[in-house]
């Protein structure tokens, strides 16, 4: 357990605590947070790596293979998990990212760990300056929202950066100075819409849920088989990706199977 994982002021989950939570419980906790369905198997995959070491060192390619999704989908959902306060990503130059699971509220509640008390000498945060509150940017002859700029920059960084943090800071500085070239934004939007359309089909997921409901083995047995397959990196009870099949089983029965 590293210095940031000490009790009393714990920031990240340890491998022992990850094992205590268990694969199925962790998936249920994350599934209740209102994230896109495709983000839940990714969180579960990170948790499975976490049970071995108190961090996930898997590459984007490894995570994509593990959950049966595209690299773009994994990158997009990593950002959603980070924005939701579930994980924290540490960049390492020339190496894979380090992904830590944070103590978000639902996880603290399950493990019975209270929020650390703020230090008595803590000063109130100053009001943001007008520059910090800037929400629109005039670039390449049109206005862009902060969210549009953020998505565009993250896409650039994930696709091209050898030193992502430096490139991200540089692009944000260019945007604030009104110098960021956004002439290819239309193409970026088209590419992103194509990814959304071709992303793991909702139709396939719904068909899988129908098959699960008709299966004579029942929810408890199916959940047990799928969880074992996830932990052992094997195919699920229906011969497909175990993470996706476990998600479909839990979704089919309202998160109702066994507990681990």
| Contacts of 131-134 spanning 24+ positions with Cβ under 8 A | 131/176, 134/176
Of the candidates 65, 35, 33, which has an alpha carbon nearest to the alpha carbon of residue 49? 65
Q: Tell me how far apart the alpha carbons of residues 46 and 31 are, in angstroms, rounded to a whole number.
A: 14
pTM: 0.46
Q: Tell me how far apart the alpha carbons of residues 78 and 205 are, in angstroms, rounded to a whole number.
A: 21
Q: What is the pLDDT along the chain (260 residues), one digit of tens a residue?
A: 443 444 345 578 777 888 888 878 888 888 888 888 888 888 888 888 877 777 787 888 888 888 888 999 999 999 988 888 888 888 877 677 888 888 777 777 777 766 555 555 555 555 445 445 467 888 888 888 888 888 888 877 776 656 677 778 888 888 888 888 888 887 777 766 655 555 556 777 788 888 998 999 888 899 899 888 888 888 889 888 888 888 888 888 765 444 33
At 36, list the tokens.
């896109």
- Sequence-separated (6 or more) residues with CB below 8 Å from residue 152: 144, 182, 185, 188
């Amino acid at each position: 357990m590293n210095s940031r994982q000490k009790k009393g002021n714990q920031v990240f989950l340890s491998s022992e605590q990850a094992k205590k939570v268990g694969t199925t419980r962790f998936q249920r906790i994350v599934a209740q947070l209102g994230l896109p369905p495709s983000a839940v198997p990714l969180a579960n995959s990170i948790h499975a790596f976490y049970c071995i070491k108190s961090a996930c060192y898997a590459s984007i390619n490894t995570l994509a293979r593990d959950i049966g999704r595209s690299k773009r989908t994994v990158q997009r959902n990593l950002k959603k998990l980070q924005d939701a306060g579930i994980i924290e990503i540490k960049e390492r130059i020339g190496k894979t990212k380090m992904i830590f699971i944070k103590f978000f509220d639902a996880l603290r509640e399950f493990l019975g760990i209270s929020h650390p008390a703020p230090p008595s000498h803590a000063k109130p945060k100053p009001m943001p300056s007008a520059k910090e509150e800037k929400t629109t940017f005039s670039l390449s002859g049109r206005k862009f929202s902060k969210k549009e700029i953020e998505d565009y920059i993250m896409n650039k960084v994930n696709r091209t950066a050898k030193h992502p943090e430096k490139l991200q800071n540089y692009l944000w500085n260019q945007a604030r100075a009104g110098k960021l070239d956004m002439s290819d934004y239309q193409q970026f939007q088209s590419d992103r819409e194509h990814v959304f359309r071709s992303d793991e089909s909702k139709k396939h997921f719904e068909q899988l849920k129908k098959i699960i409901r008709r299966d004579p083995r029942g929810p408890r047995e199916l959940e047990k088989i799928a969880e074992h397959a996830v932990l052992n990196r094997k195919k699920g009870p229906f011969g497909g990706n175990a993470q996706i099949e476990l998600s479909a089983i839990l979704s089919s029965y309202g998160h109702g199977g066994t507990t681990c």
